[in-house]
Amino acid sequence: MSLDAYRIFWILTYFNFLNGKMRTMQTNSSERIEKLETIGVVLRPNAPELREYYLNFKNFLKLKNIKAILDKKSARMIGEHGIDFYEMCKQSDIIISLGGDGTLISAARKSIDFQKPILGVNMGKLGFLTDFKSNELNECIDALLNGDYRIDLRMVIDVEALLSGYKGQFKVINDLVVRHKKAKMVHIKLYVDGILVNNYFGDGLIVSTPTGATGYNLSAGGPIVFPYAKNFIITPICPHSLTQRPIVLPVNFDITLSVGDDDCMALLDGQDSFTLNSHDEIKIGMSKTNAKMIHHKNRNFFKVISEKLHWGD
């Protein structure tokens, strides 16, 4: 074999390996839904117009001998009967969110201790995570009954807040954002395994999961990361110095953020928050718990990115 042929052989071998590796990463769970008798449904807040859509879906499920139950908040919004969210999680085989990515993330965070697979139906505009469209829901249920789906495991961040007289623990699926309450410049120290890596001065700092990389992180100039990777993405928001750039770290590092100002705030997935004052700390690590998301069997991340961001147009 000539030298050129030898090189071509190993290049093709390597790319075949990468292709197989990528396919394995994209389908990263062999978990199946054991039974589908009860589905918990969560509706996008402040959207009473979803009432007719939900009732039609509920009637469709009845024809399939599947029971639909609403959480209390969603039910009150559309004038229907509902039960406590956590009781709904206990009774459900899967959970379906009707809304956008925010509705899906909210439902996933609140239900994570129950480890129920969650399916997002895109009733909004962009929808990176909610890949099922509103007119596909009935077909989607048929696909679930036929086993034509996959369950993806999404990385979750454990957040431990060490505040003055208070210690809190939280879980984050998308991102943790630290910024000032009054839109002032903040000073945040980043420690990795106890070593000071950087002093950030600017509008704030984002610590994102790969799932959240296409959210606030992307808007702030952070990188897109393959969603089944295990990484922390640390992105400064409008830094005072242009040399302060995003960092992608593997999850085996222990990360600590220390704020140098009073009246700061930490936002968890854009939904919950707590106050930070000077010298308060946030410790960040990868959770042992995953968020389970149901997707099309042939969903391809690169096709989704190309479609949503209009790449190649």
Catalytic residues: 101
Which residue(s) pair with 133 in the sheet? 122
DSSP 77-139: HHT---B-HHHHHHH-SEEEEEE-HHHHHHHHHHHGGGT--EEEEE-SS--SS--EEGGGHHH
> What is residue 299's DSSP assignment?
-
Which run of H or of E encompasses 41? strand 38-43
Nearest by Cα to 205 from 173, 244, 235, 171: 235
CB 141 within 8 A of CB 64: yes
SS (H, E, C) 267-297: EECCCEEEEECCCCEEEEEECCCCEEEEECC
- In degrees rounded to 5, what are phi and psi of residue 279? 75, 0
CB 168 within 8 A of CB 175: no
* Alpha-carbon gap, residue 157 to 28, rounded angstroms: 18
How far apart are the two ends of the chain, measured CA to CA in Å? 42
**Residue 102, CA distances (Å) to 86, 121, 217 in order:** 19, 11, 15
- Alpha-carbon gap, residue 143 to 238, rounded angstroms: 44
Q: Provide, for the chain, the percentages of residues in helix, strand and coil under a 3-state DSSP scheme, each rounded to the nearest 5.
A: 30, 35, 35
